[in-house]
């Protein structure tokens, strides 16, 4: 798949389509994705929807499940889990993989296992958490897949909690960025573990494997991974001037390449893009016509801030239009989603935001309804014979369109 560049606007949680980017950018990473954590805007995408082996970045989902168990009261940080022979043998020092050096049959507090998981990348810590939460690795893997589906990671499949090579364990860069964004926004108190520079367990001091943490770029997470079938990969995040970006790379040949390419992507994103506020959460974007109501139109709001990520210093003109099936039929309930805002750049939609009725509109009087019916009948006849007149609605059940209000 060719590399795609994005000038993308996003309202939190809504899908965003591509547009022209600020400038060309190349990376040696076979898989790469750069995401604005606030708006969900994708700034760079190279094979973002292609499946890849996650290696130890799998542990981000293992951590998320543990965080959720704690947040929902089923687990506490000071609860202790047993390090089974399976955890010790498969994930301990004898296994040859990354480990927190947990002793066989020892009992370790959940908080220490989390630190062993995300700082030291301990496979033994991952297995101990999985067995402690679900009873077995297989049961935990089933939980991982259910949780991934709930988070919208629809193109990922998990088979174990620590990233052991498995031909059926696959993720996409977009899914991993989605997971990272969720962890950052949902668990701010626990996310800090990903940024810890070192952790010592069983008298063994280990440094965090994330190279971005020492590169003076504002990095504070998340996780590296590398096995033979994945190459070197990383899911990382950094903040500069209040703007947070998430980077995903995978398939690189060396740890140095992983550090270099992820640093380049983050640096490019911070230097070349800036957020632009379009509308406040309760700012009126425009109006929609109402058929048979107490009043003839209802104000429309987005219900959440509408933001656009644009190339830094760019002066492109944006245009907006509101579409809805209308005119709306009274009564109209306040807060009901009744329209869409389309923001375009160079004639192409780069943002589609649902709009809500900012006020309730009750059913109008009989004379008012009769007047509206007469107007619509006349407008329908005109449309059928001459096309839609300027400013006319589309008719009940039809598609109405009008300019949006001026954005800041």
59 given a catalytic annotation: yes
Among 59, 159, 307, 356, the one annotated catalytic: 59
Which residue matches tokens 């990969």? 233
Cβ atoms within 10 Å of 349's Cβ, excluding its own: 17
237 is a catalytic site residue:
no
Q: Is 71 annotated as a binding residue?
A: no
Beta-bridged to residue 325, according to DSSP, are 399
The 3-state secondary structure of the chain, one letter per residue: CCCEECCCEECCCCCCCCCCCCCCCCCCCCEEEEEECCCCCEEEEECCCCCECCHHHHHHHHHHHHHHHHHCCCCCCCCEEECCHHHHHHHCHHHCCCCCCCCCCCEEEHHHHHHHHHCCCCHHHHHHHHHHHHCCHHHHHHHHHHHHHHCCCCCCECCCCCCCCCCCCEECHHHHHHHHHHHHHHCHHHHHHHHCCEEEECCEEEECCCHHHHCCCCEEEEEEEEECCCEEEEEEEEEECCEEEEEEEEEECCHHHHHHHHHHHHHHHHHHEEEEEEECCCCCCEEEEEECECCCEEEEECCCCEEEEEECCCCCCEEEEEEEEECEECCECCCCEEEEEEEEECCEEEEEEEEEECCCECECCHHHHHHHHHHHHHHHHHHHHHCCCCCCCCCCCEEEEEECCCCC
- Please identify which of the residues 84, 90, 121, 262 carries the catalytic annotation: 121
Catalytic choice (41, 56, 134, 237):
56
Residue appearing with tokens 């007469």: 374
56 is catalytic: yes
Which residues carry a binding-site annotation? Answer: 223
Q: Active-site positions? A: 56, 59, 121
Which residues carry a binding-site annotation for substrate? Answer: 223
């Amino acid at each position: 798949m060719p590399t795609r560049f994005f000038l993308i606007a996003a309202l939190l949680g809504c899908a965003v389509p591509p547009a022209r980017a600020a400038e060309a950018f190349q990376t040696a990473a076979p898989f790469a994705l750069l995401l604005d954590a606030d708006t969900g805007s994708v700034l760079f995408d190279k094979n973002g929807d292609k499946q890849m082996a996650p290696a130890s970045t799998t542990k981000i989902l293992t951590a998320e499940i543990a965080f959720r168990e704690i947040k929902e009261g089923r687990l506490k940080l000071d609860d202790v889990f047993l390090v089974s022979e399976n955890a010790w043998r498969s994930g301990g020092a004898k296994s040859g993989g990354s480990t927190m050096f947990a002793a066989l049959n020892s009992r370790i507090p959940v908080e220490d296992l989390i630190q062993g998981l995300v700082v030291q990348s301990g496979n033994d810590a991952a297995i101990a958490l999985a067995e402690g939460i679900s009873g077995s690795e297989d049961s935990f893997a089933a939980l991982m897949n259910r949780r991934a589906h709930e988070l919208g990671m629809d193109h990922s499949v998990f088979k174990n909690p620590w990233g052991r090579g498995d031909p059926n364990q696959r993720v996409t860069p977009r899914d991993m960025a989605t997971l990272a964004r969720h962890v950052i926004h949902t668990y701010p108190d626990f996310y800090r573990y990903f940024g810890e520079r070192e952790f010592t367990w069983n008298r063994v001091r280990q440094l965090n494997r994330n190279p971005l943490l020492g590169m003076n770029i504002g990095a504070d997470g998340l996780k590296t991974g590398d096995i033979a079938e994945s190459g070197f990969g990383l899911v990382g995040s950094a903040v500069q001037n209040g703007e947070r970006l998430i980077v995903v790379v995978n398939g690189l040949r060396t740890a140095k390449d992983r550090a270099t390419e992820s640093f380049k992507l983050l640096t490019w994103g911070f230097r070349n893009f800036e957020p632009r506020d379009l509308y406040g959460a309760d700012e009126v974007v425009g109006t929609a016509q109402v058929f048979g109501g107490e009043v003839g139109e209802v104000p429309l709001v987005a219900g959440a801030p509408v933001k656009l990520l644009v190339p830094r210093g760019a002066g492109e003109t944006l245009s907006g239009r509101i579409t809805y099936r209308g005119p709306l039929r009274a009564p109209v309930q306040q807060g009901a989603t009744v329209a869409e805002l389309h923001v375009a750049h160079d004639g192409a939609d780069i943002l589609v935001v649902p709009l809500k009725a900012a006020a309730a509109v009750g059913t109008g009087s009989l004379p008012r309804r009769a007047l509206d019916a007469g107007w619509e009948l006349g407008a329908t006849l005109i449309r059928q014979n001459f096309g839609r007149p300027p400013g006319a609605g589309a008719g009940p059940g039809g598609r109405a369109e009008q300019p949006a209000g001026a954005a800041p």
